[in-house]
A and B are shown apart, each in its own frame.
Chain A
Amino acid sequence: MSLPTVAFVLGLLIIPLAVTSMAWQKIIIIACIFAFLALSFDFLAHFVGIVCLGGAFFTGVGGYISGLLNSAFGLPLVITIPIATIGGGVICTLFLLPCLPMRGIYFAIVSLMYPLLFARVIQALNIFGGTDGLPGLATFPNIWVELYLILPLILILTFGLRRLVNEDFGMVLRAIKDNDQAVKASNINITWFKMKAVFLAAAIGCFSGAYLTHLYGWVGISLFALDFSIFPIAATVVGGVGTLVGPVIGALILTLFSEMLREFGPLRVVFYSLILAGLVILNTGGLVPYLQRKYHQFERWIEI
């Protein structure tokens, strides 16, 4: 393992020990949830060429599935979270299936429309607890379980996805992004491959929704909030598109940053937006690619 990898793994695992207050530990958990969504976005956008703003859709579906299973059947969270992950992934994929032949902005619009639609349906029909949501759901036993369940999962997912995109299966996905016509001419059913990729991304998002549900012990239409779609994109831009590690770091930085700006009150969003706009306009290419460049420079650096 190389030095940056070790630093990333250890850094992620010891952050919770480094902060003192419970409030900050909670913030780290929220950052991790956004890291999941950012990973899912980066995977689809950079390796499959699908710009998916479905983060809110995934968290909402995952959250409601695990919330309903818990409140209606009293299933414990060790069962509801896996079911919500897989089942939610399947449901989201089925909903997104008709838009798979679409590319670029069209897919993005549809994926952004679903969370709005679902939230309104729940509100209007007053199902699943309506606007109040479903309170009193099962929660994790303590904060250390919460932390050390999600942190190793992020590591597994980051390195797992990185491995996947370099496998032969990942090559097909990347080829679809580069040139889908040529993939069609190579006897490959691109819809089937895109479907598998969307399922994977949706399952990741649904997991974060289910996790969030049990973190709060409550599920409501705020799980369909567009923050879950937009924030991961910001995190990916900050961390570096297509690096997979970048979005995780980006999500951590942005969440912590957003908390630190809290004392500015209403001005917080202004500073936050300015910084984001600056990063995009200056076209920094992301933190991780920058660090990678510097690291490779120093690696070849010889003292004379």
Chain B
Amino acid sequence: MNKDVILQVKGVSKSFGGVKAINHVSFDLLKGQILGIIGPNGSGKTTLVNLITGFVKADSGLIFSEGKKLIGLPPYKIAGLGIVRTFQIPRPYHSLSAMKNLVVPLYSSRIVRTIGGKLGDRDTVALDILEEVGFERDAHIPYKHASAFPEGFLKRLELARCLALRPHVIIMDELFSGLSVSEITAMIPIIEKLQMNGMTLIMVEHRVRELFQIAHRVMVMNFGEKIAEDVPDEIIKSEIVKQAYMGVT
């Protein structure tokens, strides 16, 4: 096995009733890369994310991360291995302020184990992370309840929650959906910076144009199957992708 592979998915399948949501999907995720996953609605992108992060149990197949088997582990343990995700529909803690939203991941056993007593005050660390995703420290925003936030802020908060766990791999489930072009343009530098600092990313996206700017490789899914995987330039040229995804015959 290649040493640079941080996440290996081998022949994973999942059916809901009679519907094959995921059918024998395999791919390797290389350390430090951004892998984009695209595909029409219902092609199994989110299910794939759920399978990797343990929110849905796979029927068959194997998923490894750095020699550890992920299938069968509960979600919180997979997060503990540093493989974290954002949710397509943001899941903030509405009754807590943005800052306190981050106290929760900072209380996790992963953080306590790796940093322990050196973490210091969780509120201060939370403010640092919020600044990283673009929440200004001196504004009122970090102290506002998450219920008062617009979609764009909630998406950033999702990302911040992942960052608080100091992950190896972040799986972003449609982080750009529901955002305006200017909001996306503001997010891209944050993601590029993460990648430059050595983070490995999987981005499930519908925003193909923005995704192809930053992704190293792109995987295309349709009807639960992987139909192509290549560098973005090749994917754009590919006939099979055009047919499945863009509806061009």
Q: Which single residue of chain A is at the shortest CB-CB distance from B82?
A: A187
Q: Which single residue of chain A is at the shortest CB-CB distance from B171?
A: A185
- Asked if A171 is at the interface of the complex by the 8 Å CB criterion, the answer is yes
- When distances are taken between beta carbons in the complex, the residues of chain A under 8 Å from B85 are 185
Q: Measured between C-beta atoms, what is the minimum distance from A191 to chain B in Å?
A: 9
- When distances are taken between beta carbons in the complex, the residues of chain B under 8 Å from A175 are 93, 96, 101, 104
Known: A182-B92, A182-B93, A184-B76. A171 touches B107 (CB 8 A): yes
- When distances are taken between beta carbons in the complex, the residues of chain B under 8 Å from A172 are 103-104, 107
- When distances are taken between beta carbons in the complex, the residues of chain B under 8 Å from A190 are 76
Q: Are the C-beta atoms of B79 and A178 separated by less than 8 Å? A: no
Total A-B Cβ pairs within 8 A: 85
Q: Measured between C-beta atoms, what is the minimum distance from B86 to chain A in Å?
A: 8
Contact of B161 among A169, A178, A182, A189 (CB under 8 A): A182
Known: A171-B103, A172-B104. A187 touches B93 (CB 8 A): no
The interface size of chain B toward A, counting residues with CB under 8 Å, comes to 32
- When distances are taken between beta carbons in the complex, the residues of chain A under 8 Å from B106 are 168
Chain A residues touching B, range: 10 to 19
- When distances are taken between beta carbons in the complex, the residues of chain A under 8 Å from B164 are 186
Q: Measured between C-beta atoms, what is the minimum distance from A174 to chain B in Å?
A: 6
CA distance A168 to B123 in the complex (A): 9
- When distances are taken between beta carbons in the complex, the residues of chain A under 8 Å from B103 are 168, 171-172
- Asked if B198 is at the interface of the complex by the 8 Å CB criterion, the answer is no
- When distances are taken between beta carbons in the complex, the residues of chain A under 8 Å from B75 are 184-185
CA distance A178 to B161 in the complex (A): 15
- Asked if B108 is at the interface of the complex by the 8 Å CB criterion, the answer is yes
Most chain B beta carbons < 10 A, residue from A174, A186, A189: A186
Q: Measured between C-beta atoms, what is the minimum distance from B196 to chain A in Å?
A: 25
- Asked if B6 is at the interface of the complex by the 8 Å CB criterion, the answer is no
Q: Measured between C-beta atoms, what is the minimum distance from A245 to chain B in Å?
A: 18
Q: Are the C-beta atoms of A174 and B76 separated by less than 8 Å? A: no
What is the 8 Å Cβ interface bit string for chain B, positions 94-111, against chain A (1 contact, 0 not)? Answer: 111000110111111111
Q: Are the C-beta atoms of B79 and A179 separated by less than 8 Å? A: no
What is the 8 Å Cβ interface bit string for chain B, positions 2-40, against chain A (1 contact, 0 not)? Answer: 000000000000000000000000000000000000000
9 smallest A-B Cβ distances: which pairs?
A187-B108, A187-B79, A182-B91, A178-B93, A186-B105, A187-B80, A175-B93, A184-B75, A175-B104
